Amino acid sequence: MGKRTLIIYVVITLFVCIFAVMSGYSQEDVTTVEDSAFEEKMRPTVQFLHDEHNEAAGLEECDVCHHVYKDGEKIEDESSEETECSECHTLNKGDNPLSLVKVYHLQCKGCHQKEKAGPIMCSECHPR
Ligand code: HEC
Ligand code: HEC
Ligand code: HEC
Ligand code: HEC
Q: How would you class 100 by CB atoms within 10 Å of its CB: exposed for 0-12, middle for 13-18, buried for 19 or more?
A: buried
What pLDDT, on a 0 to 100 scale, did the predictor assign at position 27? Answer: 60
Ligand lying closest to the C-alpha of residue 125:
4
Q: Which residues contact 32 (CB under 8 A, 6 or more apart)?
A: 45, 46, 47, 48
* 79 closest CA partner among 88, 71, 67: 67
pTM value is: 0.90
Q: How far is the CA of 53 from the centre of ligand 2 (A)?
A: 20
Ligand 2 pocket test, candidate residues 48, 95, 103, 115, most atoms within 8 A of CB:
103
104: left (phi over 0), alpha (psi -120 to 50) or beta: alpha
Ligand 1 pocket test, candidate residues 21, 23, 26, 30, most atoms within 8 A of CB:
30
Q: Count CB neighbours of 85 within 10 A.
A: 17
Q: What is the pLDDT along the chain (128 residues), one digit of tens a residue?
A: 778 887 778 777 777 656 665 555 556 689 999 999 999 999 999 999 999 999 999 999 999 999 999 999 999 999 999 999 999 998 876 666 789 999 999 999 999 999 999 999 999 999 98
What pLDDT, on a 0 to 100 scale, did the predictor assign at position 94? Answer: 66
